[in-house]
Chains A and B, each alone.
Chain A
Amino acid sequence: MIPHGMLEDLGELSLEHLEMVFIAMLAAAAIAIPGAILLSRKPRISRWGLGFANILQTVPSLALFGFLIPIPFLGVGKATAVVALTLYALLPILRNTLVGITGVDAAVRESAVAMGMTPGQILWQVELPLGAKAILAGVRIATVTTIGTATIAAAIGAGGLGVFIFRGIAEFDTVQILAGAIPAALMALLADELLGWVERRVA
């Protein structure tokens, strides 16, 4: 039996969930893609950058949410959740963008320089188009992961589909747990398909 009001809640929580993921992904891409471009120019710093993003990802997600709460202006709620999700999404995008850009064939890069292309022209006309597939794969992986991780945001009062899951756990109510878990899983699958399609279009 589906309890009264659950469907309305489901719509609202799904939207909330999507919104968090969407904003976090935009922010992560806006930081990680330019970040990776900078790192690709400085091989020595690039290990530090990747290391930092790596460490971020090894922090257990619940703990990361917790750590952020005491930070001024964030506190309990959506802002904290979005920041945490953004930090989590950095690594896959950073790593894939770096691989995409540095993976450009050496002969192609050499001829681009030798034809008299400026660094900007090489970035926009050679590196980004040739790295696009890898970059998009990074965004896809990060999005799918973030949709899952975002369920934990409910623990710090940020809402989203995790609300059902946490409530279900507290009330020993399997239906409620599933009402959160299934839509989240579907959302992840859908995002994977959609972004996978974009990726193939680019190739």
Chain B
Amino acid sequence: MTNGLLRKVYSLPSEPLAVEFRDVSYLASGRPILNHLSFQVPAGQTLILLGRSGSGKTTALRLINGLLMPSSGQVLVGGRPVSEWDLIDLRRKTGYVIQESGLFPHFTVERNVGLVPSLLKWAAPEQGARVRELLDQIGLPHAEFGRRRPGELSGGQRQRVGVARALAARPGLMLLDEPFGALDPVTRLELQRQLLDLRERELITSVFVTHDVREALKLGTVIGLLNRGELEFFGSPAEFQESEGDEARRFLEVLK
């Protein structure tokens, strides 16, 4: 009995986790990559990090789940500095979709998606149900795709499995690094919708990296624009569209 109760507790959605940067700088081999970033993403919001290639978007994401530690300043998740979190715990509560999908080539799709639930020791039936549910949601039905290896999927299918894997343990925070890069516009739209639905259903904080303005305006509740490691703009999508900043205007050019 007790066992059953404990099990249930695991699969409850985690509390959404707020993210805050306090004067964060990051240097790589002495070169500044991020310069004095300060911003707040309240729990349940979706921050879109916009910026050109090399502007520091991925670096900023990696600071949030402790893959990198800031050279100065503080990153807070759920109000607690990342340096004070048990990193294993933080990462299991944080879904992460990396640019290249990073699926385990020796695991089936099923095992890839079920990875974090299995690390968290969810009961097998519950794991199985969650995996099925997610695979259906991303349009890769379990019966057809569950037993395949990532090598037997297309690039876009791999990306979708990457998203499902990040969502599996109902994280309170999602970090997505250009998750829809390799998708056709139709599937891309579909996944964007699903992400919006998800935000309504399960309260979740997201930091979403993209260089696509349209995607940013559609998905963001807040937008941050990085330009060579500086946060040139931070505010609502509406404010962004009115922004007079040089880089912001260059991005908005695209819409015209």
Pairing of A with B: yes
Q: How far is the CB of B119 from chain A (nearest CB, A)?
A: 6
B92 within 8 A of A: yes
Residues of B within 8 A of A110 (CB): 67, 98, 102
Contact of A115 among B89, B96, B101, B106 (CB under 8 A): B96
Q: Which of B65, B98, B106, B115 contacts A107 (CB 8 A)?
A: B98
Q: Among B98, B106, B119, which residue has its beta carbon within 8 angstroms of that of A117?
A: B119
Known: A116-B89, A130-B105. A111 touches B119 (CB 8 A): no
How many contacting A-B pairs (Cβ < 8 A)? Answer: 56
Chain A positions within 8 Å of B103 at CB level? 108, 111
Which residues of chain A from 93 to 140 have any CB-CB distance to chain B below 8 Å in the complex? Answer: 105, 107-108, 110-118, 121, 126, 129-130
Closest residue of chain A to B116 (Cβ to Cβ) is A115
State in angstroms the CA–CA spacing of A118 and B88 once bound together: 7
A118 to B92 alpha-carbon distance, docked (Å): 11
Residue of B nearest to A113 (CB): B67
> Which residues of the other chain, B, contact A111 by a CB distance below 8 angstroms?
96, 98, 101-104, 162
Total B residues in contact with A, Cβ cutoff 8 Å: 24
Judged by a CB distance under 8 angstroms, whether B152 is at the interface is: no
Binding site of A, secondary structure by majority: helix, strand, loop or mixed?
helix
> A111 CA to B106 CA in the complex, in Å?
14
Per-residue CB contact flags for chain A residues 147-176 toward chain B (1 = under 8 Å, else 0) read: 000000000000000000000000000000
B100 part of interface (Cβ distance < 8 Å): yes
| Distance of A129 from chain B, by nearest CB (Å) | 5
Q: Are A126 and B104 in contact (CB under 8 A)?
A: yes
Q: How far is the CA of A198 from the CA of B24 in the complex (A)?
A: 51
Smallest Cβ-Cβ distance to A121: which chain B residue: B119
Residue total for A at the interface (Cβ-Cβ under 8 A): 16
Nearest CB on A from B108, distance (A): 13
B91 within 8 A of A: yes
Selected from A105, A112, A114, the residue in CB contact (under 8 A) with B65 is A114
- B98:A115 contact, CB within 8 angstroms: no
Contact call B100/A115, Cβ cutoff below 8 A:
no
Least distance between B112 CB and chain A CB atoms (Å): 9
Fill in one digit per residue for B69-93: 1 if any A CB lies within 8 Å of its CB, else 0: 0000000000000000001111110
Q: Would B67 and A114 count as touching, CB distance under 8 A? A: yes
**Cβ contact within 8 Å between A114 and B115:** no
Contact A108 B102 (CB under 8 A): yes
Q: How far is the CA of A113 from the CA of B62 in the complex (A)?
A: 11
**CB-defined contacts of A107 to chain B, threshold 8 Å:** 98-102
CB distance from A126 to the nearest CB of B (A): 6
Within 8 A of A (CB), among B4-51: none
Counting chain A CB atoms within 10 Å of each CB, the highest count among B89, B99, B100, B104 belongs to B104
Do A115 and B67 contact each other (CB < 8 Å), given the known contacts A107-B98, A108-B102?
no
A141 to B88, CA, bound (A): 39
**Within the assembled complex, what's the spacing in Å between the Cα atoms of A137 and B106?**
18
Query: Which residues of chain A come closer than 8 Å to B162, judged between CB atoms?
Result: 111
Q: How far is the CA of A151 from the CA of B80 in the complex (A)?
A: 65
Is the CB–CB distance between A116 and B102 below 8 Å? no
A-to-B contact residues, CB < 8 Å: 105, 107-108, 110-118, 121, 126, 129-130
Known contacts A115-B165, A130-B105; 15 additional CB pairs below 8 A are A107-B98, A107-B99, A108-B103, A110-B67, A111-B96, A111-B101, A111-B104, A112-B102, A115-B91, A115-B92, A115-B115, A116-B90, A118-B88, A126-B104, A130-B106
A-B contact pairs, 30 of them (CB 8 A): A107-B99, A107-B100, A107-B102, A108-B102, A108-B103, A108-B105, A110-B98, A110-B102, A111-B101, A111-B102, A111-B103, A111-B104, A112-B102, A113-B91, A114-B65, A114-B94, A114-B102, A115-B91, A115-B96, A115-B116, A115-B119, A115-B165, A116-B87, A116-B88, A116-B90, A116-B94, A117-B88, A121-B119, A129-B106, A130-B105
Q: Residues of B at under 8 Å CB distance from A?
A: 65, 67, 87-92, 94, 96, 98-106, 115-116, 119, 162, 165
